[in-house]
Amino acid sequence: MSASAPIASLRQALGVEAVRDDIAERIAYSYDNSRMQALPEAVVFAHSHDEVVKVVRTCREARTPLVVRGRGTNTTGASVPTEGGIVLSLEGMQRILDYRPADRLLVCEAGTLNGAVQEQAAADGLFWAPDPTSTGYSTVGGNIACGAGGPRAVKYGTTREALLGLRAVDGHGETLICGCRTSKGVVGYDLTRLLVGSEGTLAIVTEATLRLLPRPSARRDMRAAFSDVNSAAAAVARIMGQAAIPCALELMDEQCVALAQAHTPLDLPAGTGALLLLSADGDEASIANEIAAIARAAEGDGLLEWRAAADEADAASVWGARKALSPALRSLAPKKINEDVAVPVSRLAELLAGLREQSARHGLQIVNFGHAGNGNIHVNILADPDDPSQMATVDACLDAVFTLVLSLGGTLSGEHGVGVAKRDFVAREIDATTLARMRDIKRLFDPDGILNPGKTLPAAPGGTVIATEGC
């Protein structure tokens, strides 16, 4: 697809200040957290749903690619304008439009920060379930686009479960209103859930009705040190197989433990080969029983230490290992490859064993941590993308990792999305007939293929991402 961006028409529709085509602005919006980069022809700043409608209709008329963007925290290249065209920033759409604590809902524009939602809800003892690492600066629209989760998804679910409805603009430039403002509703097809994780390829979400939850009055933090990762994985399966579900259950393998220890002393038992970090929440009357049940489930071969935090300062120490990990990894490998695969919890030990095998086979250091309670592991391959010889090895290793994940009944992405980074592997997970129906849906929502082209779905037979008219 190639077309000159309709800059003059957009300036006429939105005003001169809303459309920027100077090189500094274009560079600033040319990349995301994936480290991929491609220059757009212009950046457009919308401040209302109606302005988004104007942008889509103008781009459709000109057959110009249109990539929507929140704050650029995506890690798969989903918000990179790989085919040029227009980047549409929604960072100016941050209004909370309706807030009803009694109904446990909040309506906000797509550019609203996750952290702003949490702050508003907390005033009435409520919270919104998605808590990605980027909570303080990622947007609600971005969370919806990639189906964000976070540590507490193990108990409270991901973005998909945390929405009641959406307002969006499809590739026709028409407004879609889907979902409802009640906790139950089965009228019509569920377009709300369809748009979650679609990465702006079907429609541009402008407003979201969020499902809020009551904030538990008590929370306790714990850690469990194990002699090896297999013992830790077995404990995860036991913990998740009983009634007392933790609100966070994170795993760090031996490599992670060593890196974190080198960065910040953690006072771990000698011989620690894996670490589980856990949180439980509830009310003061019941939380002691919850913790006791989780502790009993954690008992088994390889457990070296079970430690419950005594107070907030101790809780910070318990989670110190996890907080120390990211800076340690960044200093060791600033351009690491990070994948977020997920497998059934019962297959977690097999996944981790297979990853150790691939690390040895390809001569690459692989560091694994993540949301073990969901079977969602962040696989970090420590290689230099600027070294062609290393990247040739990485490609073979990634291929083997994805093959392993799918053989265990897993998925290629638990919460980071597909974007460009995993697009060409999607056909391994989704069969040809189902992919064909997905392409049909793409054509229905976006007949001219202008919305975030080249993302999410692999190329169709014949070499194009979708068959379109006018492109």
Residue 167 lies in a domain: yes
Residues 123 and 208 both lie in one domain: yes
| Residue 82 tokens, joined | 């790989």
Tell me whether residue 168 is exposed, middle or buried, using C-beta atoms within 10 angstroms of its C-beta: 0 to 12, 13 to 18, 19 or more: buried
Residues 170 and 266 both lie in one domain: no
Residue 280 lies in a domain: yes
Task: Tell me the CA end-to-end span of the chain in Å, nearest whole number.
Answer: 5
Predicted model pTM: 0.92
Residue 145: which H helix or E strand, with range?
helix 140-146
CATH number for the domain spanning 39: value is 3.30.43.10
| Residue 441 tokens, joined | 């849906």
Residues 209 and 106 both lie in one domain: yes
Is there a contact between 201 and 452 (Cβ–Cβ < 8 Å)?
Answer: yes
Written as one letter, the residue type at 13 is A
Residues 317 and 350 both lie in one domain: no
**Predicted confidence (pLDDT) per residue in 318-349, tens digit:** 787 777 776 677 677 766 788 899 999 999 99
Residues 121 and 203 both lie in one domain: yes
* Cα distance between residue 110 and residue 205, in whole Å: 6
* Cα distance between residue 244 and residue 287, in whole Å: 10
The count of structural domains within the chain is 4
Residues 310 and 360 both lie in one domain: no
Query: Using CA of residue 232, residue 234, residue 240, residue 242, what is the dihedral sign?
Result: negative
Residue 170 lies in a domain: yes
* Cα distance between residue 34 and residue 419, in whole Å: 10
Residues 244 and 271 both lie in one domain: yes
Please tell me the predicted confidence (pLDDT) of residue 168.
98
**For 78-113, where are the alpha helices, taking DSSP H only?**
none
Residue 397 lies in a domain: yes
The secondary structure of residue 346, as a DSSP letter, is G
* Cα distance between residue 467 and residue 443, in whole Å: 8
Written as one letter, the residue type at 404 is L
Residues 149 and 203 both lie in one domain: yes
Written as one letter, the residue type at 377 is I
Coil, strand or helix at 337? strand
CATH number for the domain spanning 296: value is 3.30.70.2190
The rounded Cα 74 to chain-centroid distance in angstroms is 7
Written as one letter, the residue type at 183 is S
Q: Give the residue numbers spanning the domain of 414.
A: 333-423
Residues 313 and 371 both lie in one domain: no
Residue 406 lies in a domain: yes
Q: Which of 293, 324, 355 is the last residue of a domain?
A: 324
Residue 319 lies in a domain: yes
Please tell me the predicted confidence (pLDDT) of residue 259.
84
Neighbours of 331 (CB within 10 A): 11
Residue whose token pair is 């318990």 = 318
Residue 453 lies in a domain: no
Query: Using CA of residue 175, residue 181, residue 185, residue 190, what is the dihedral sign?
Result: positive
**pLDDT mean values, one per 10 residues, the chain (471 residues):** 73 96 97 92 98 98 97 93 97 98 98 98 97 91 95 95 98 98 94 97 98 96 96 97 95 90 83 95 93 96 93 79 72 77 96 96 92 94 81 90 97 93 95 97 98 94 46 28
Crossing angle of helices 388-407/348-362, nearest 10°?
Answer: 160
Q: Which of 389, 408, 423 is the last residue of a domain?
A: 423
Residue 411 lies in a domain: yes
The per-residue DSSP string of 277-295 comes to EEEEEE-TTTHHHHHHHHH
CATH number for the domain spanning 377: value is 3.30.70.2740
Residues 207 and 253 both lie in one domain: no
Residues 342 and 363 both lie in one domain: yes
Task: Report the 3 state secondary structure along the chain.
Answer: CCCCCCHHHHHHHHCHHHEECCHHHHHHCCECCCCCECCCCEEEECCCHHHHHHHHHHHHHHCCCEEEECCCCCCCCCCCCCCCCEEEECCCCCCEEEEEHHHCEEEEECCCEHHHHHHHHHCCCEEECCCCCCCCCCEHHHHHHHCCCCCCHHHHCCHHHHEEEEEEEECCCCEEEEECCCCCCCCCCCHHHHHCCCCCCCEEEEEEEEEEEECCCEEEEEEEEECCHHHHHHHHHHHHCCCCCCCEEEEECHHHHHHHHHHCCCCCCCCCCEEEEEEEEECCCCHHHHHHHHHHHHCCCCEEEEEECCCHHHHHHHCHHHHHHHHHHHHHCCCCEEEEEECCHHHHHHHHHHHHHHHHHHCCEEEEEEEHHHCEEEEEEECCCCCHHHHHHHHHHHHHHHHHHHHCCCECCCCCCCCCCCHHHHHHHCCHHHHHHHHHHHHHHCCCCCECCCCCCCCCCCCCCCCCCCC
Residue whose token pair is 């629209």 = 141
| CA atoms in the 13 A half-sphere facing the CB of 447 | 9
| Residue 110 tokens, joined | 């797509």
Q: Which of 152, 186, 214 is the last residue of a domain?
A: 214
Please tell me the predicted confidence (pLDDT) of residue 468.
33
Coil, strand or helix at 309? coil
* Cα distance between residue 123 and residue 43, in whole Å: 36
| Residue 282 tokens, joined | 């509830």
CATH number for the domain spanning 138: value is 3.30.465.10
Residues 227 and 314 both lie in one domain: yes
